[in-house]
Structure 1
Amino acid sequence: MIKNIQLTFLIILSLSVSLFFVSCDKDMSISLKNENIDNLNLTSSDTLSAIVSTVLMPNIPTSGTGDTTTRLLVGKVSQGPIGSVTSNAYFRLMPENVSSDIPKNAVYDSITLVLRPTFDKYTHGDTTKLQTIVAHRVTQTLEQTTLNNTMTGQPIPVYISGASIFGQQKFAYDANPLGSVTFMPHMNKRDSVSIRLADTWGTELFEKIRTADYIFNSTANFQEYFKGMVLVPASSNTAIIGFHNILSVKIHYSYNGADGFKKSTAKTLQMGDRRFHYNNFVADRSGTAFATLSTTKEIPSTASNGVSYIQGGTGVVTKITFPGLAEFMQTQNIAINKAELIIEVASKDLGHYTAALKPMLWIATDNIATGYVNTPFANAIQHGNYVVGNNTGRNGRYVFNMIQYIRSANDENAKDKSLFLSVSPQGEQINQGQQVPPLIIPSELYYSANTSILATENNKPKIKLNIVYTKFK
């Protein structure tokens, strides 16, 4: 939807103020003693407009990176105007260090999958209701994909750095569940969630461990026997829960020790290669203005009552273009003092849902992210300053410094470029003190379902570009 951009014109008079001449790309200072002060002229204009739409970026890599700084995401959330999103978590198991030293008189007891919350206790959605997780056995080999653009000629999105498993990919699994659990996600109190798995599989594994079966001779043998597990939420779930990728499957057994007393212990299978755990995101937008959203079809804000949004995991972004910016930047004898992009968030709609706290702007070419808006005059992603809303009607808002970006409006092929407002692909390290290890927050884009619905006014998105400039006679 077209949103008028607010242009503010201001003369800043000080002992030394640096101004950028757009026409000749030179710096100029104005002081109170400047003899040409009378040649400054203030005018006003409101001719720039923003065109806004919702876009689905392709191939979001949601698999692990080989370390422990990612999340397994399981659950489902629904947000009225944008539909629902479900996350299923896939992973492999590892047979290493499982010895066959089980006493002859040992008896199988049970098998459980133990999940632990992430260190940051991540959730997205309503955690005041019971949640159900169902475990299934994967029947198709989990494999990474390497994108190849030689056939299409299209650039590979900049957020893809190599082989991965992407969030939209699905791998077959047995419809018969291995086990399930229903629990209340008190994330700050609960140390773990245990899923009791099928005893038929537990007994089978127990006997294979006891007899030193060939499946424990190598990772390849075990992967052929057991390709992996997927955790699927119930359709009634109301939250997506983040679990640590350090998990375990415990085969419990008991035996009578040499002292005559009964002893209980377990053999443990850990998560396998973390590059092969990933989160499969499934969106259901039926019945909403975004029902036909796809990687080849964007939804203009004129078709969604001005509503647009961004979302981690699925790769939904808000596309923003300023068709009149190039012409404005060719205006003679002006100097840009300040440029800010302000995007308001519908705070009242957030409720239990986690808003994107560190948004960023991709630079997209023909709807493919090929770069990003830098921190001005630095080679680093600029994260928008999140200004929190309040209870008196003021929306939360994202503020970006666009002083450097707008100068590229007249670059070659600029007309083919647009901005994608998105959650961040970068993780974050938060120091907690000298005696406490830093808290690692994984990437919002790859390992969260964080969603921000943008605010509207008169069925238009509340997005404005404030440009402060001085015009010379």
Structure 2
Amino acid sequence: MSRNKSTLLTAIVIALLLFMSCSEEDASITVGEDWIQSDTRVIYIDTIEVNSSTFKFDSLAVSSTDRLLLGSYQDPIFGKTESKIFTQLANSTYTLDRDAVFDSIALILHYDDYYYNDTTQVQSLKVYELLQSIKPSDDGSFYTTTSFDYDENPVGKLVFIPQPTREDSLHLRLNDSYGRLLFSELRDNEINNSDEFLNAHRGLLLSPGANNTVILGFLPTSSVRLYYSLPDELEDDTLNYFDMDFNSSYSFHAISSDRTGTYFETLKDQENVVSSTEAGGMSYVQGGVGLATRIEIPNLSGLDYIEGKGTEHPPICRAVFSLN
């Protein structure tokens, strides 16, 4: 943010704090004659000390989100930011025609028009099978720090140039070996319900490439699609499909960052802060990874002890000030 905007924001915050502070009594005053005659004094000051710093939340809840974030980018201030997607697949039925013939399998990610940073560069994406079932923490939530083990052999890879505002979806063909296994289990009735499916296929991890330049937003209505044909159909090129949808209750993005070489390299938990004097005279906010600004006014409580009075009884003080 610019220094002028930072000063304006600081002034607004201080004004609110000063307007609501310095009182030992809980009083409600209506502006007008009663306010003028109330136990109020007005103080004008042209200098006040304000300290700002940047700190990091330990983790942020990302459960039941309307947008799944996927990608990575390098930033000169924040370092490298990366977002992966963990998802569980689900369907209401688990049957296929016994005569069905497998054709292909694809991951279909529906854009939601959100993107951040450079979409003109080539991006890469890998898909992995999870080795652990996706389960929330004890409080029922998923967090940006939540993670699950996965098979390091990907079931799909894609290199692409994103077009989040021109196309409605991103289509990634997955490995035929993975698709044939899933297809045969459904067609041959080895899997007949969600419990049997999740015992065999716990979920997927979508991971961006190390050199990506953009974070993309996708809808939780994305899916894995099995394409197949039926021998008795009149048109030889007719393809049917069977969708395994993302289970929105068990799908989330995990955002992380590598702050090596940045102002915030030392931020490990909420106990650590980076003063604005150590960060080029600025403090910062980066919502996805939990960086936030802390503003402190060390001498705020001392304003009530400034000599002078406005009316006979001044238990409540108000300060009027400007920041230059």
TM-score bucket of the superposed structures, by smaller chain: 0.7 to 0.9
Change (3 A) 1:45 1:173: same
* Deviations 1:124-145, CA, capped at 9 Å, x for gaps: 1111222222111111221111
What is the aligned residue count? Answer: 295
1:424 alignment counterpart: none
Question: How do 1:240-389 residues align onto structure 2 when only pairs under 5 Å count?
Answer: 240-257=215-232, 259=234, 261-272=236-247, 274-295=248-269, 296-331=271-306, 333=309
Change (3 A) 1:303 1:100: same
Equivalent position amino acid for 2:166 in 1: K
1:113 alignment counterpart: 107
Q: Which runs of 5+ in 1 are unaligned?
A: 8-19, 147-161, 336-406, 411-465
Cα distance in structure 2, aligned partners of 1:292 and 1:334: 48
* Deviations 1:88-131, CA, capped at 9 Å, x for gaps: 0100001432322242xx4321100101012xx11111112222
Equivalent position amino acid for 1:468 in 2: V
Cα distance in structure 1, aligned partners of 2:61 and 2:32: 50
Are the equivalent residues in 1 in contact too, given 2:104–2:173 (CA < 8 A)? yes
Q: Are positions 1:205 and 2:182 aligned together?
A: yes
Q: Are positions 1:51 and 2:51 aligned together?
A: yes
Are the equivalent residues in 2 in contact too, given 1:21–1:333 (CA < 8 A)? no
Cα distance in structure 2, aligned partners of 1:6 and 1:244: 39
Change (3 A) 1:180 1:258: closer
CA RMSD, aligned part only?
3.1
Deviation at residue 22 of structure 1 after TM alignment: 5.7
Change (3 A) 1:21 1:314: closer
Are the equivalent residues in 2 in contact too, given 1:255–1:262 (CA < 8 A)? no
Consecutive aligned runs of 4 or more in structure 1 exceeding 3 Å deviation: 3-7, 20-31, 40-44, 258-262, 329-335
Q: Are positions 1:181 and 2:181 aligned together?
A: no
2:88 alignment counterpart: 92
Cα distance in structure 2, aligned partners of 1:145 and 1:264: 41
Change (3 A) 1:329 1:225: farther
Are the equivalent residues in 1 in contact too, given 2:71–2:213 (CA < 8 A)? yes
Cα distance in structure 2, aligned partners of 1:98 and 1:182: 31
2:320 alignment counterpart: 468
Deviates more, 1:284-293 or 1:45-54: 45-54
Deviation at residue 6 of structure 1 after TM alignment: 6.5
Q: Are positions 1:236 and 2:228 aligned together?
A: no
Change (3 A) 1:143 1:23: closer
Secondary structure (helix, strand or coil) at the match of 2:171 reads strand
Higher relative contact order (CA 8 A, sep 6+): 2
Cα distance in structure 1, aligned partners of 2:41 and 2:228: 86
Q: Which of the two has greater helix per residue?
A: 2
Cα distance in structure 2, aligned partners of 1:21 and 1:327: 8
Cα distance in structure 2, aligned partners of 1:232 and 1:280: 10
Secondary structure (helix, strand or coil) at the match of 2:151 reads strand
2:4 alignment counterpart: none
